[in-house]
């Protein structure tokens, strides 16, 4: 293909990527967005392959990756989607590092001068350290989300000072690499190694409740790493795709932080739940709660005028979304106004609950975001909380609480609250929930899917 044809093909692929992001902004158009993304990536890959003669090696690598990806996609559970996303981010960062190493080792094969110019060195420096930090940080996020590592923040004295010292040292080696007249492998390797270490240290002090922000932040990092390498390689497609991922991830991180009333820098520096508190507003006395059965809940909902269902991570673990859809349909047939309330950080990654409900084909008009539905709780007869904890915790209104100021779904304002949980255990933030001990609250213990199925039978 001629240079003009390549540029045109990359432009078309870029338009498809933009349309993909537009489609993915709503569950209703997400399927179409995915199709646009696949078309754009197909065009980008095919176009790039016309620029090389080494088809055998490239096709072999694509085939291996496709087999691995297909197997993972078929086996992964919806509950494991957050850690899968974190794992994929790590691969993007590692790919950026490997490309940078190859470019430094043999710049001519990438169309660069034998002696790297200053601009290319700067681009490789940025792409390498961002990619390295993305890889190691994503590995920690994967371990925490998958339960292979405790979600409790790992903190120690002088942690932030150590991170600052490492960052300054990393930049120092980067400048040494930048100003060296020849390829300075010592500076490059030292800079890359410190970046890997810094990625670990930045993520380990971040608590489990901040993981939705961490995922979107690492998504942004992976995009900027790809964009940086794209400048080095002179590949406009990589620059555009990386910039789209980087900017969208940054915007999503901002939205998540706003939803939790958390400054972005505070999340990056760690500390949400880092004091180890497991209760708020507790004077140390014994708390009592009221429990009931699925039959009791069915009776209350069947005789209500309005019901709001709040899904949480417990619903995902139990894979109860299809049973919940059946419950909503039966209640609707009885004339009950049923709606779903979604908190921006419910679950373990942005949009987790939206995806689950969309999988069960629950009508989009019944699914409302927190800002749309919060004012309706005070006029609602029954709220059914399914496995959610931190996003409905009234402790967010208590000064001194680790989650003070975090916007929550105001389920405590409804006339009756029913909470389905396996136990009275705390949520991912490690905080007890005052909602569970209110007089208007009835706890229903058990697997969410089985409990909801029993509710359906009773109704």
Residue with tokens 């059965």: 293
Q: Are 382 and 349 in contact (CB under 8 A)?
A: no
From the list 309, 376, 302, the residue with the least C-alpha distance to 339 is 309
Tokens 């009234």 appear where? 394
Return d(Cα 427, Cα 313) in angstroms, integer.
10
Cβ-proximal residues to 132 (8 Å cutoff; 6+ apart), any chain: 93, 97, 192, 195, 196, 199
- The number of residues making up the chain comes to 459
432 catalytic residue (yes or no): no
Catalytic residue among 390, 432, 434, 439: 390
For strand 306-311 and strand 382-386, is the pairing parallel, antiparallel, or unpaired? parallel
- Annotated active-site positions, please? 390
């Amino acid at each position: 293909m001629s240079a003009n044809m390549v540029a045109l093909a990359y432009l078309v692929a870029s338009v498809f990527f933009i349309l993909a992001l537009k489609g993915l902004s709503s569950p209703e158009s997400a399927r179409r967005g995915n199709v646009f993304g696949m078309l754009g990536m197909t065009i980008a890959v095919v176009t790039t392959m016309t620029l090389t003669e080494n088809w055998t090696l490239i096709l072999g690598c694509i085939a291996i990756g496709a087999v691995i990806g297909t197997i993972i996609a078929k086996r992964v559970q919806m509950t494991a989607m957050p850690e899968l996303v974190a794992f994929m981010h790590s691969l993007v960062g590692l790919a950026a590092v490997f490309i940078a190493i190859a470019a430094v080792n043999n710049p001519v094969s990438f169309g660069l001068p034998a002696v790297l110019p200053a601009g290319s060195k700067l681009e490789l420096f940025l792409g390498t350290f961002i990619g390295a930090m993305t890889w190691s940080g994503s590995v920690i996020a994967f371990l925490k989300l998958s339960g292979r590592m405790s979600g409790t923040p790992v903190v120690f004295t002088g942690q932030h000072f150590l991170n600052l010292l490492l960052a300054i040292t990393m930049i120092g080696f980067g400048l040494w690499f930048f100003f060296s007249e020849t390829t300075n492998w010592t500076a490059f390797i030292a800079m890359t190694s410190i970046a890997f270490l810094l990625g670990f240290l930045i993520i380990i002090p971040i608590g489990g409740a901040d993981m939705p922000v961490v995922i979107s932040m690492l998504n942004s990092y992976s995009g900027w790493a790809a964009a940086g390498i794209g400048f080095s390689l002179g590949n406009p497609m990589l620059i555009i795709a990386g910039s789209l991922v980087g900017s969208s991830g940054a915007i999503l991180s901002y939205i998540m932080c706003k939803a939790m009333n958390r400054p972005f820098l505070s999340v990056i520096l760690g500390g949400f739940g880092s004091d180890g508190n497991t209760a708020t507003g507790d004077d140390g006395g014994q708390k009592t709660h009221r429990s009931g059965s699925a039959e009791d809940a069915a009776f209350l909902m069947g005789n209500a005028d309005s019901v709001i269902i709040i899904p949480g991570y417990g619903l995902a673990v139990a894979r109860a979304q299809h049973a919940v859809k059946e419950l909503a349909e039966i209640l609707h047939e009885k004339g009950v106004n049923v709606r779903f309330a979604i908190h921006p950080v419910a679950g373990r990654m942005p949009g987790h609950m939206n995806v689950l409900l969309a999988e069960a084909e629950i009508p989009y008009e019944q699914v409302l975001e927190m800002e749309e539905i919060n004012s309706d709780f005070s006029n609602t007869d029954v709220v059914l909380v399914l496995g959610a904890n931190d996003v409905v915790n009234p402790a967010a209104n208590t000064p001194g609480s680790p989650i003070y100021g975090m916007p929550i779904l105001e389920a405590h304002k409804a006339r009756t609250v029913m909470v389905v949980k396996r136990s009275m255990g705390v949520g991912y933030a490690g905080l007890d929930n005052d909602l569970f001990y209110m007089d208007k609250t009835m706890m229903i213990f058990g697997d969410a899917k089985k409990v909801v199925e029993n509710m359906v039978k009773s109704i």
